[in-house]
Amino acid sequence: MFSARKLPGVHRTISFHNFRSHSASRTSPNLAFVPTCLPPDPIEVEKLQHFVSNSKRLFVITGAGISTESGIPDYRSEGVGLYARTGRRPMQHAEFIRSANARQRYWARNFVGWPQFSSFQPNIAHLVLRDWEKLGKLHWLVTQNVDALHTKAGSQRLTELHGCTHRVFCLACGDQILRSELQEQFEALNPTWKAEAFGVAPDGDVFLTDEQVCNFQVPACCKCGGILKPDVTFFGDTVCPEKVNFVHQRLAESDSMLVAGSSMQVYSGYRFALAARDKQLPIAILNIGPTRLDHFASLKLNARCGELLPLIVAPDPTS
């Protein structure tokens, strides 16, 4: 069910009543979409430990690289990202808005991919950040991901910068429903429609041909008949100013920044790293491969989030 939104940056509006015990997610990671890298160097572990220990109000921003160990592919990882594996590109905002055929393709693919995508579970990196929050070490968490894994892990001091695929809203009247409710509407409208998926994409859809989607029926808003859109920021769209300002306020309250699993290629997230630099906050990066921050970060570590973060002890910042 949905809870009231009191702050523009807080979007923990989904209750996962049937989510299994958090400890059940502490299993072997799924490395199918994780680039190869060396194990963490003990010296690097010590450096990150020092960074975290010195932080009293840590601001964390995560990207797709934190969720690849849960089995969700990203776009840019060398050799295993969507761009490396296929010629496909993500849905563009303008295309979704203006084209009924584009919306039909998007929703048909999303309908097929939803059962798998909605079943993904947080990995140990998500759980570590949740635990840091409980300890008072993590002041605020901003995720660029739309997979709801931080929410499933139990994080509460959280802003979903680009929204969440588990929510759907009407472009005309603004009415919001759960994505699971929309799945039931799809099933009712398409009782005999079937399609075999070819591969999985980062944001929950799968690869289908135009022939497969041509007969797929898309429901309209049940309140006004308007266009339904996932509550996510598509490529080419912008994050609302209220949310951006809210995140800047949380950053202003922080004393350090950790970037986990992101190359920070997208400006919507990169702007906060620039703001942290301007405030002369120490910045640590944990990401496999280069990032836009490498030249001004205080610390850069090339390792898996799920392999390195559990090695860090986060003492109570008030002690």
Pairing of strands 228-232, 163-170: antiparallel
Count H helices, E strands: the chain? 11, 9
Instruction: Check the annotation: does 106 bind a ligand.
Output: no
Give pLDDT, residue 22: 41
Give pLDDT, residue 63: 96
Instruction: Check the annotation: does 224 bind a ligand.
Output: yes
DSSP one-letter code for 37: -
Give pLDDT, residue 21: 37
Instruction: Check the annotation: does 177 bind a ligand.
Output: no
Give pLDDT, residue 88: 62
Sheet holding 138-143, edge to edge: 158-160, 138-143, 58-62, 256-260, 283-286, 299-301
Instruction: Check the annotation: does 305 bind a ligand.
Output: yes
The 10 Å CB-count burial string (b at 16+, else e) for 170-199 is: beeeeeebbbeebbebbeeebeebebeeee
What's the pLDDT tens digit per position in 139-167? 999 999 999 999 999 999 999 999 999 99
What's the pLDDT tens digit per position in 34-88? 878 888 899 999 999 999 999 999 999 999 999 999 988 866 545 444 444 455 6
Instruction: Check the annotation: does 131 bind a ligand.
Output: no
Pairing of strands 138-143, 299-301: unpaired
Instruction: Check the annotation: does 48 bind a ligand.
Output: no
H-assigned helices in the chain: 42-54, 82-85, 93-98, 100-117, 124-135, 149-153, 179-189, 210-213, 241-252, 267-278, 305-308
> CA dist 266 to 29, 69, 145, 212, Å?
26, 21, 12, 32
Instruction: Check the annotation: does 83 bind a ligand.
Output: yes
Give pLDDT, residue 232: 96
Give pLDDT, residue 3: 32
Give pLDDT, residue 24: 38
158: amino acid identity, one letter: L
Give pLDDT, residue 144: 96
Give pLDDT, residue 303: 95
Structure tokens at 178: 């759960």
Give pLDDT, residue 198: 65
Indicate if 295 belongs to the active site: no
Residue of 150, 162, 166, 248 marked active site = 162
Instruction: Check the annotation: does 65 bind a ligand.
Output: yes
Give pLDDT, residue 201: 66
Q: Name the stretches of the chain with pLDDT < 70.
A: 1-28, 74-89, 198-204, 317-319
